[in-house]
């Protein structure tokens, strides 16, 4: 029996069917991408939502820095972490403004402040930028507290400008090398980083926020909205993961060497359930710093000052006033 041979018409039909399937797949991909497309939000619009009577703007290096100032007394400067904003310190500002002049700012690359053109977001860049910010506010010396990236900036700034900080608090601080969470590793390829600049679904931000809490029941819709909407501030997504790379700090030996220049009293606060920067590094900071003690918060995650504001603020007050 001779083999069957497809007619030209059958071949064309199969080709058309395959073409339709490819087209459908491409259309589905395009629809999914379009559904997740999020345009930048202008800072003017966001300022209507995220400023209040305590908000101010000051120009530093051509950038309008958003900060809040509450209370009176010795200046206490609060620095937030990666992908966060000054709002992460709302609880501390409320609790501590009777004893201190509480100053918190949106760091370059985040919040309403937004990016700095041509900046390399190293700890040294942030420390020097912070120095110019404090000079603009005519602050010669202060106490300083920082969480995560802000903690890294705090100890680096103190090492470089020791005369400007009287006491410091490190809250789950960056500095020593550690393995980043798996979700951040997914953003290593350049094509993924480019996509994140445009495709940023709210539910993905919700996943990130829940990762930094020990008790996810405390994560409210309003909290996720705050992180999400400020991330959409024009320019904030462009360098998001580059900042994570550049501000990770020097190697461990260099960190140890720099910490030897820090001779002021230090309080180390750490969430027991921190899934981003492990507790063992909190112990290491306490061992390396000459005048440090460590408080561990049971059940708390990476941002205990946001998760347990009253408890952590009380510990901060006792330390700063003693």
In a domain, residue 246? The reply is yes
Dihedral sign from CA coordinates of 311, 168, 157, 249:
negative
Output the DSSP codes for 101-146: EEEEE--TTSTTT---TT----HHHHHHHHHHHHHHTT---EEEEE
In a domain, residue 126? The reply is yes
In a domain, residue 170? The reply is yes
Distance CA(271)–CA(297), nearest Å, equals: 5
Identify whether residues 120 and 266 lie together within a single domain.
yes
Identify whether residues 158 and 300 lie together within a single domain.
yes
Identify whether residues 30 and 100 lie together within a single domain.
no
213 vs 240: which has the higher pLDDT: 213
Residue range 273-320, pLDDT digits in tens: 999 999 999 999 999 999 999 999 999 999 999 999 999 999 999 999
Identify whether residues 25 and 67 lie together within a single domain.
no
Identify whether residues 182 and 196 lie together within a single domain.
yes
Residue range 38-57, pLDDT digits in tens: 578 999 999 999 999 999 99
CATH value at residue 163: 3.40.50.1820
Q: What is the pLDDT of residue 200?
A: 83
Strand pairing report for 63-70 and 55-60? antiparallel
In a domain, residue 290? The reply is yes
Identify whether residues 155 and 255 lie together within a single domain.
yes
Identify whether residues 107 and 239 lie together within a single domain.
yes
Output the DSSP codes for 69-106: EES-SEEEEEE--TT--GGGGHHHHHHHTTTEEEEEE-
The count of structural domains within the chain is 2
Instruction: Work out the mean pLDDT of the chain and round it to a whole number.
Output: 88
Identify whether residues 30 and 49 lie together within a single domain.
no
Confidence check: pLDDT of 10 > 90: no
Q: Which residue, 153, 190, 194, is CA-closest to 174?
A: 153
Q: How many residues does the chain have?
A: 322
Identify whether residues 90 and 124 lie together within a single domain.
yes
In a domain, residue 3? The reply is no
In a domain, residue 5? The reply is no
In a domain, residue 1? The reply is no
Identify whether residues 15 and 110 lie together within a single domain.
no
What is the arrangement of strands in the sheet containing 74-79, beginning at the earlier edge strand? Answer: 55-60, 63-70, 100-105, 74-79, 142-148, 165-173, 266-271, 292-297
Q: What is the pLDDT of residue 38?
A: 55
Identify whether residues 203 and 152 lie together within a single domain.
yes
In a domain, residue 235? The reply is yes
Q: Which residues pair with 168 in a beta bridge?
A: 144, 266
Question: Residue 50 — φ and ψ, nearest 5°?
Answer: -120, 20
Note whether 89 and 104 are within 8 A (CB): yes
pLDDT band at 31 (very low <50, low <70, confident <90, very high): very low
Structural domain range at position 92? 43-321
Identify whether residues 18 and 114 lie together within a single domain.
no
Residue range 76-132, pLDDT digits in tens: 999 999 999 999 999 999 999 999 999 999 999 999 999 998 878 999 999 999 999
Two structure tokens written together for 160: 């470089």
Within 8 A by CB and 6+ apart from 221, the residues are none
């Amino acid at each position: 029996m001779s083999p069957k041979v497809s007619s030209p018409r059958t071949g064309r039909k199969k080709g058309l069917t395959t073409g339709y399937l490819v087209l459908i797949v491409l259309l589905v991909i395009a629809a999914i991408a379009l559904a997740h497309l999020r345009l930048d939000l202008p800072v003017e619009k966001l300022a209507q939502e995220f400023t209040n009577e305590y908000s101010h703007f000051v120009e530093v290096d051509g950038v309008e820095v958003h900060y809040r100032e509450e209370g009176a007394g010795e200046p206490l400067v609060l620095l937030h972490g990666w992908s966060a904003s000054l709002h992460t310190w709302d609880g501390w500002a409320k609790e501590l403004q009777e004893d201190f002049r509480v100053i918190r700012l949106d760091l370059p690359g985040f919040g309403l402040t937004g990016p700095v053109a041509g900046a390399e977001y190293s700890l040294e860049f942030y420390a020097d930028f912070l120095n110019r910010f404090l000079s603009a506010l005519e602050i010669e010396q202060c106490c300083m507290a920082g969480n995560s990236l802000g903690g890294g900036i705090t100890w680096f700034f103190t090492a470089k400008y020791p005369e400007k900080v009287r006491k410091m608090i490190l809250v789950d601080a960056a500095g020593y090398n550690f393995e980043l969470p798996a979700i951040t590793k997914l953003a290593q390829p350049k094509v993924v980083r480019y996509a994140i600049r445009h495709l940023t679904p709210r539910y993905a931000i919700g996943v990130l926020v829940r990762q930094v809490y020990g008790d996810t029941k405390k994560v409210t819709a309003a909290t996720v909205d705050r992180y999400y909407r400020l991330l959409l501030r024009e320019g904030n997504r462009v360098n998001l993961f580059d900042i994570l790379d550049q501000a990770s700090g020097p190697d461990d030996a260099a960190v140890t060497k720099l910490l030897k220049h820090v001779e002021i009293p230090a309080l180390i606060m750490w969430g027991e359930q921190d899934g981003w920067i492990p507790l063992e590094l909190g112990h290491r900071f306490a061992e390396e710093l000459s005048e440090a003690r460590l408080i561990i918060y049971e059940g708390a995650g990476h941002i205990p000052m946001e998760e347990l504001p009253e408890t952590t603020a009380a510990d901060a007050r006792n330390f700063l006033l003693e």
